Amino acid sequence: MPFRMLWTMIGQNFKTQRHVMIPFILALSMIFGIEFILLSLNMNEYVQKRSETLPAFIGIGNFFMSVLGFIFILYANRFMMKRRQQELAMYMILGMEKKHFQLIMLVEMLYQYIVVALLSISGGYLFGALIFMLLNKLMHQTGMSLIDYPFDMTAMLFTLLMLAVLMLFLFIMNNIKLLFQSPIKLIQQHQITEKRLPKPILYILLVIGVIAIATSYNIALSDTLLTESLFQVFNAVFLVMLGTYCLFMSLGVLLLEWLQKIPKLYYHPRYFFIISGLRSRINTNAIGLASISILCTFLIVTLGMTITTYRGIDKRIDKLMPDQYKISVEGNMKTDKDIQRKVHNLEHDIEKNAKIDFFKEVPTALIATAYQPPNTFKREKDNSNSVSLNSPYLMMMTQEDYNKVATHKVNLKKDEVGLASDGQIFRKLKTIHLMNKQFKAKQVDNLSYSYQIPEGLMVITPDAKRYNQLARYYINGLYSPSHDMRTYETSFINFNIMTKDASHFNKIKHHLEKKYKVMIQTREEMGSLLYQFNGGLIFIGVVVSIVLLLGTFLMMYYKNIAEGYEDRRNYQIMAKVGIEDERIKSTINHQIIWIFALPILVAMIHVTVAFKYIFNLLGVLSITNIGVFATSYIGVIITVIVIYALMYWITSRIYYLIVHRYF
């Protein structure tokens, strides 16, 4: 084939398919631009030295981004090649050999590779510098500059290699799919429409969908322990996806068929074409619409959790670390003379090296139990190294010690215990069964003072006698009665340094830890760890949200193009039978609006039902402020609806360009 003819055909193909190819190239560039950013951040020397957790979070984000990006690229490539089937068939009928078309596809792929490589690397580096600065600000890192984010050649080579592998895979897949078929089959495939499923299949799908959605909603609305909720996440997600696909494929079709059986409604001039047209569209686009709905659901959940995690980090630091320093000493300093002596000497050494306010001494016990809903805690019979999912930890302290550190004091009667927990299931308790006895439960402020354990239950006893009874009872359930309680008890000592400069004490802190075999935590260290951990989670959430948003846009865009080509034929048919243009335009507009409004409406229902479940999951991060969570989610839902409407408006422009000449 002459070189000039080759370029003419490639140019002509690009011109006719530009509405399909340009979004594909831009989407591919964005995905690999993000890939380059993640790789360059993960290999960045500054990031590796300043944060131990961030590289792991970047790796997790890269994995999710790669999987989602690969799925979206396959979808876009499948749609793009489907639009070319008729063109390929015509070339074959006109005598072009398959090797010539393979050459055209190869040159097009090389051209796309060069364009995507330039856009992804250049754009990735520019936006990577911005993300580097934002990420460090998010994690409260100081002293960094753009010099710390040099251009990474290794990241570039990895990105280009992955892009080359993907393009080669697409080239081979397209050749296998298209070039081993005859021109007649290609034309027939282009004209084939989705067959209507038989009634029995529709009812089977409806039953499966209802059962799957009902089961997943039951999981979301049930009161369960956080550990159980974490293990049920994948079951709930799978059931929601299964139910959504089944109901989109069955319920919409059956509902429209039922409407067709109402003569007054179906044969009304205004609704006849809308209902019959929707019947065909739902049948053809059920899987695509269900996919858009699921993407919107994941987008709202991911963004909502990300923003909720970011908000109120300072308050969580105040809650976890109310004072500047916290010392952890194994054992009970009130009942163990050896521990008393150690603590006395430690406090004396601290006072010699720093001016402090006063020591807040709080002995506690942490013990695994066997939980029986709704309010019974039995002894855990198994070894503590293999506690079950129904084994929440009790963290016990006396009323006297609690009042030393609590903002709101508590006054308990002999038959009462104070309860506090990050777990939603324990916040509703009015009574509690401990040691086979029933106690009145008084809900108090949760300190998160000593242990950061998801869904642990803090139990405040009215006196030391009750504390010792409870601790001994549950510890004896784990081991023999003679087992040393010291391994289950920890004394915490909180204090503040009164001078502005605490550098001298910080220098000797490690010496004191080794000398007395204790752990000394600082508020600054706790804040840094929390910002790094939450910053990493937020980064993953942002990356996944961007890719989900990109995937949603791609699916909506290509869905609008498919609808445009389909409606172009419908316009011609409707115009030939004498229907006026205004009626045609109104009918099609109503159908399109309903089709693209349905996924976001279903997503809203999923998110609303999952509200309680998602809030419960956030307890693993000690997020218990439902006001912050609710406002974050409402804001995200409104934002996603606006973005969805904007994406629909943008993608619908190409739809109207395709069918405009037939108005």
* 167 and 112 Cβ atoms separated by less than 8 Å: yes
Any idea what DSSP says for residue 395?
E
Whether residue 160 is predicted with pLDDT greater than 90 in this model: the reply is yes
Residues 6+ positions from 492 with CB-CB distance below 8 Å: 326, 327, 328, 329, 361, 362, 363, 364, 449, 450
Backbone angles phi, psi at 483, to 5 degrees: -65, 140
pLDDT at 208: 95
Q: 329 and 318: one domain? A: no
Nearest-angstrom CA–CA distance, 563 and 637: 27
Q: 616 and 537: one domain? A: yes
Residues 531-559: tens digit of each pLDDT: 877 777 777 788 788 888 888 888 878 87
Whether residue 599 is contained in a domain is answered as yes
Confidence band for 199, pLDDT divided at 50, 70 and 90: confident
DSSP-based three-state secondary structure for 574: helix
Q: Strand 457-461 and strand 393-398: pairing?
A: parallel
Whether residue 510 is contained in a domain is answered as no
Residues 572-609: tens digit of each pLDDT: 776 777 666 677 667 667 777 777 788 899 999 999 99
CA 393 vs CA 13, 131, 199, 614: distances in Å: 66, 40, 53, 22
Lowest-confidence region among 28-37, 51-60, 594-603, 621-630:
51-60
Backbone angles phi, psi at 432, to 5 degrees: -145, 140
Q: 479 and 331: one domain? A: yes
Query: Which two tokens mark 655?
Result: 């739809």
Whether residue 513 is contained in a domain is answered as no
Q: How far does the chain reach from its first CA to its final CA, in angstroms?
A: 41
Lowest-confidence region among 162-176, 210-224, 276-290:
276-290
Any idea what DSSP says for residue 527?
H
Q: 552 and 572: one domain? A: yes
DSSP-based three-state secondary structure for 78: helix
Q: 306 and 348: one domain? A: no
Query: Which of 192, 223, 258 corresponds to the end of one domain?
Result: 192
Query: Which of 159, 192, 225 corresponds to the end of one domain?
Result: 192
Q: Strand 376-379 and strand 360-372: pairing?
A: antiparallel
CA 498 vs CA 325, 356, 505, 506: distances in Å: 12, 5, 12, 14
Whether residue 215 is predicted with pLDDT greater than 90 in this model: the reply is yes
Whether residue 503 is contained in a domain is answered as no
* 392 and 423 Cβ atoms separated by less than 8 Å: yes
List, in sequence order, every residue forming a beta bridge with 361; answer none if it has no partner. Answer: 493
Which residue, among 33, 25, 39, 9, has the nearest Cα to 102 in the 3D structure? 9
Peptide bond connecting 150 to the previous residue in cis, omega within 30 degrees of 0: no
pLDDT at 385: 45
Whether residue 505 is contained in a domain is answered as no
Q: 180 and 220: one domain? A: no
Whether residue 486 is predicted with pLDDT greater than 60 in this model: the reply is no
Instruction: For Cα atoms 189, 194, 200, give the angle at the middle one, nearest 5 degrees.
Output: 140
Query: What mean pLDDT comes out for the span 452-464?
Result: 81
Residues 386-422: tens digit of each pLDDT: 445 557 788 899 999 888 887 788 889 888 999 888 7
Whether residue 488 is predicted with pLDDT greater than 60 in this model: the reply is yes
Q: 438 and 567: one domain? A: no
Q: Is 47 exposed, middle or buried (0-12, 13-18, 19+ CB in 10 A)?
A: buried
Whether residue 211 is predicted with pLDDT greater than 90 in this model: the reply is yes
Whether residue 194 is predicted with pLDDT greater than 70 in this model: the reply is no
pTM of the model: 0.77
Q: 153 and 302: one domain? A: no
Backbone angles phi, psi at 308, to 5 degrees: -60, -40
Query: Which of 192, 217, 250 corresponds to the end of one domain?
Result: 192
- Can you state the percent helix, strand and coil of the chain, rounding each to 5? 70, 10, 20
* 396 and 473 Cβ atoms separated by less than 8 Å: no
DSSP string, 210-272: HHHHHHHHHHHHS---HHHHHHHHHHHHHHHHHHHHHHHHHHHHHHHHHHHT-HHHHTSTTTH
pLDDT at 449: 54
- Identity at 27, one-letter amino acid code: A
Which residue, among 647, 426, 445, has the nearest Cα to 557 in the 3D structure? 647
Q: Is 115 exposed, middle or buried (0-12, 13-18, 19+ CB in 10 A)?
A: middle
Nearest-angstrom CA–CA distance, 242 and 197: 18
Buried b (16+ CB within 10 A) or exposed e, 495-520: bbbeeeebeebbeebeebeeebebeb
Lowest-confidence region among 303-307, 356-360, 455-459:
455-459
> In terms of DSSP H, where are the helices of 334-463?
337-353, 399-405
pLDDT at 195: 62
Residues 104-145: tens digit of each pLDDT: 888 888 888 999 999 999 988 888 888 877 777 777 666 566
Residues 365-392: tens digit of each pLDDT: 888 888 888 888 888 764 444 445 557 7
Q: How many helices (H) and strands (E) does the chain have?
A: 20, 10
The residue with greater pLDDT, 334 or 165, is 165
Whether residue 518 is contained in a domain is answered as no
Which residue, among 200, 206, 293, has the nearest Cα to 252 in the 3D structure? 206
Q: 533 and 622: one domain? A: yes
Lowest-confidence region among 56-60, 92-96, 235-239, 313-317:
92-96
Full residue range of the structural domain in which residue 626 is found: 197-322+526-662
Q: 612 and 547: one domain? A: yes
pLDDT at 116: 92
pLDDT at 663: 43
Whether residue 662 is predicted with pLDDT greater than 70 in this model: the reply is no
Q: 540 and 489: one domain? A: no
Q: 379 and 250: one domain? A: no
Give the distance from CA 335 to its chain's centroid: 47
Whether residue 17 is contained in a domain is answered as yes
Domain count, the chain: 3
Query: What mean pLDDT comes out for the span 212-240?
Result: 84
Whether residue 329 is predicted with pLDDT greater than 50 in this model: the reply is yes
CA 57 vs CA 53, 54, 124: distances in Å: 6, 5, 19
Whether residue 502 is contained in a domain is answered as no
